[in-house]
Amino acid sequence: MPDCLFCKIVSGEVPSRKIYEDGDVLAFYDVTPQAPVHALVIPKKHIGDLNMLTDDEAGLVGHIFLVVRRLAKELNLTEGYRVVHNCGVHGGQTVAHLHFHLLGGREMLWPPG
């Protein structure tokens, strides 16, 4: 997707602080962290959001969650963490490329607001 910020991060056109990468998934630090640890885990292929996920791509999201679990361990989030997907306008999504926030390093509040 030519005008997609996260596609540009995948290609390297926009720099990021990478944490993890494999053939299908990239994880990098959020530029505006909302917690002591705030990473974004994304598929390398462009998928707009959860509503645009196809049945064939379900395994990719499973893989992303296993990457999240691995990062939580590597980043020492021993007391727990939160995983968030903001979907669409009411979900608070601002970048239209599927991504999961990994937040940790402090106790999270609920409801999130």
Binds ligand 5GP (CB under 6 A): choice among 1, 4, 7, 16: 16
Residues 24-43 that bind ligand 5GP (CB under 6 A): 28-32, 40
Residue 52: other Cβ atoms inside 10 A: 12
- Taking the C-alpha atoms of residue 30 and residue 8, their distance in angstroms, rounded to an integer, is 15
Q: Which is nearer to ligand 5GP, 5 or 60 (CB)?
A: 5
Six-digit token string for 74: 């590597």
- Taking the C-alpha atoms of residue 49 and residue 61, their distance in angstroms, rounded to an integer, is 11
Known catalytic membership, residue 99: yes
- Taking the C-alpha atoms of residue 6 and residue 70, their distance in angstroms, rounded to an integer, is 21
Q: Which is nearer to Zn ion, 31 or 108 (CB)?
A: 31
Q: Which is nearer to ligand 5GP, 55 or 91 (CB)?
A: 91
Look at residue 30 and give the partner it binds from Zn ion, ligand 5GP, none, a contact being a CB closer than 5 to 8 Å depending on partner kind: ligand 5GP
Name the residues annotated as catalytic: 99
